[in-house]
Amino acid sequence: MSKLRVSIVGASGLVGECLIKALLGHPRVELKLLVSEHAAGRAIGELLPALAGECELKTVSATPAEVAQASDVVFCAKKGAETFQWVPALLDGGAKVIDIGGEFRFRDAAVYETWYKEPHACKDLLKQTVWGLPELCREEIRAAKLVGNPGCYVTSAVLALAPFVAQGLVEDAGLIVDSYSGLSGAGRQFNAKLSNLFVDVDENLRAYGVGNHKHTPEIEQGLARAAGRDLKATFVPHLAPLDRGILTTAFARPKPGLTTEKALAALKDFHTPARAPFVRVRAAVGDVNVRDVAFTNYCDVSAQVVERSGQLVVASALDNLVKGAAGQALQNMNLMSGFEETLGLKGRSL
């Protein structure tokens, strides 16, 4: 049986490293090219010591045409202008593309331009782009040639709130998403400023991007897709003294009759094993924590109705590098390639 030829553009970043680990354990994949312009020619095990003895490939400098010719599927982990150069050329070369960044997450280029503060150079491709949250877009992903992998915060927020907005169990107004992310959410940046991060974050917590974080419109887009109508949400992200992981606590006003028992039932009805093989519904909000999902592709969720204040509280936790990025991208690759959705993602530490 021939294997799927897979390459990674931007292989030396944190998501690239996680992707390599995941792909090395995938029984139907042959890892072909690891593209890294700034480190071309270096053994990946030298560049990323965690991969020493696991992968013998060297990073390369290659053109999009060369990468497409060698690949059936390409994961693109570039940003901005570089993404807009790579993605159309890869598609023209016959490869399917899963874009890890934010450039192909929106159907409306104006939304991207407003929130990312730069022109969208591939507007013509947006009509064929599929937003890659499998729990909501599975059948579209199966037929896609270009998938925009969702943001990590977005995945945690939408998986938490989608069951309630989809089933009309909460009011549209007053949706709040309060999230805490580990440092790896910022990626691996090759600059001296990284030396200050521990000093800045250890024994500290802070909010950032309040009202203008780039994931805000994508959260609203995902919730609108689930609800079938436009929705607005207040998103407050925080930087937490963690290596990896996201804990999200979302708040909504329940409609009359919603109890904790019914809220948990709504989560289970929406996130069935067939529809959401990587979403686990926990018995209580206090049972949802980052440690249980770290290095896995799972997202744990739970809910509670606080009757005294008339508030629905929904918690979710995931690993921002796995279900929030590389693992979800691999989930999308499986769907696009006709494989079992969970192949290569269960029973392993990523």
Q: Residue 316 pLDDT > 60, yes or no?
A: yes
- Which residues contact residue 298 at a Cβ distance below 8 angstroms, ignoring those fewer than 6 apart? 278, 279, 280, 292, 318, 323
Residue 350 lies inside a defined structural domain of this protein: no
Residue 44 lies inside a defined structural domain of this protein: yes
* Residue type (1 letter), 187: G
Q: Do 189 and 304 sit in the same domain of this protein?
A: yes
* Distance, CA of 268 to CA of 103 (rounded, Å): 32
**Nearest Cα residue to 317 out of 152, 128, 111:** 152
Q: Do 145 and 12 sit in the same domain of this protein?
A: yes
Residue 279 lies inside a defined structural domain of this protein: yes
Q: Do 166 and 252 sit in the same domain of this protein?
A: yes
- Quick one: pLDDT band at residue 199, thresholds 50, 70, 90? low
Residue 345 lies inside a defined structural domain of this protein: no
- Read off the pLDDT of each residue in 150-160 and give the average, rounded to a whole number: 97
**Nearest Cα residue to 52 out of 16, 13, 20, 5:** 20
Q: Where are the alpha helices (DSSP H) in the chain?
A: 14-24, 44-47, 64-70, 80-92, 109-116, 134-142, 152-166, 197-201, 216-227, 260-270, 327-336
- Quick one: pLDDT band at residue 192, thresholds 50, 70, 90? very low
Q: Do 202 and 293 sit in the same domain of this protein?
A: yes
Lookup: tokens for 243: 């290596």
Q: How far is CA 92 from CA 65, 78, 147, 242, in A?
A: 8, 18, 15, 41
* Distance, CA of 44 to CA of 324 (rounded, Å): 23
Residue 161 lies inside a defined structural domain of this protein: yes
299 is catalytic: no
Q: Do 328 and 309 sit in the same domain of this protein?
A: no
pLDDT value of residue 193: 40
- Read off the pLDDT of each residue in 21-40 and give the average, rounded to a whole number: 92
Q: Do 117 and 185 sit in the same domain of this protein?
A: no
**Helices (H) and strands (E) in the chain — how many of each?**
11, 14
Q: Is 146:91 a contact under the CB 8 Å cutoff?
A: yes
- Quick one: pLDDT band at residue 197, thresholds 50, 70, 90? low
Residues 264-301 have pLDDT tens digits of: 999 999 999 999 999 999 999 999 999 999 999 999 99
Residue 101 lies inside a defined structural domain of this protein: yes
- Quick one: pLDDT band at residue 238, thresholds 50, 70, 90? very high
From the list 18, 76, 152, 299, the catalytic residue is 152
Q: Do 122 and 188 sit in the same domain of this protein?
A: no
Q: Is 282:288 a contact under the CB 8 Å cutoff?
A: yes
| DSSP per-residue letters across 175-242 | EEEEEEE-GGGG----SGGGGGHHHHHTT--EE-STTT-TTHHHHHHHHHHHHTS---EEEEEEE-S-
* Distance, CA of 31 to CA of 180 (rounded, Å): 33
Lookup: tokens for 329: 């991208």
- Quick one: pLDDT band at residue 186, thresholds 50, 70, 90? low
Say which CATH number the domain at 207 has: 3.30.360.10
- Read off the pLDDT of each residue in 175-204 and give the average, rounded to a whole number: 69
Angle at the Cα of 76 (from 337 to 72), degrees rounded to 5? 35
Structural domain count of the chain:
2
Residue 36 lies inside a defined structural domain of this protein: yes
Q: Do 130 and 196 sit in the same domain of this protein?
A: no
* Distance, CA of 137 to CA of 190 (rounded, Å): 35
Q: Do 138 and 180 sit in the same domain of this protein?
A: no
Q: Do 38 and 114 sit in the same domain of this protein?
A: yes
Q: Which domain holds residue 100?
A: 4-150+324-336
Q: Do 99 and 144 sit in the same domain of this protein?
A: yes
Say which CATH number the domain at 38 has: 3.40.50.720
Q: Do 219 and 331 sit in the same domain of this protein?
A: no
Residue 210 lies inside a defined structural domain of this protein: yes
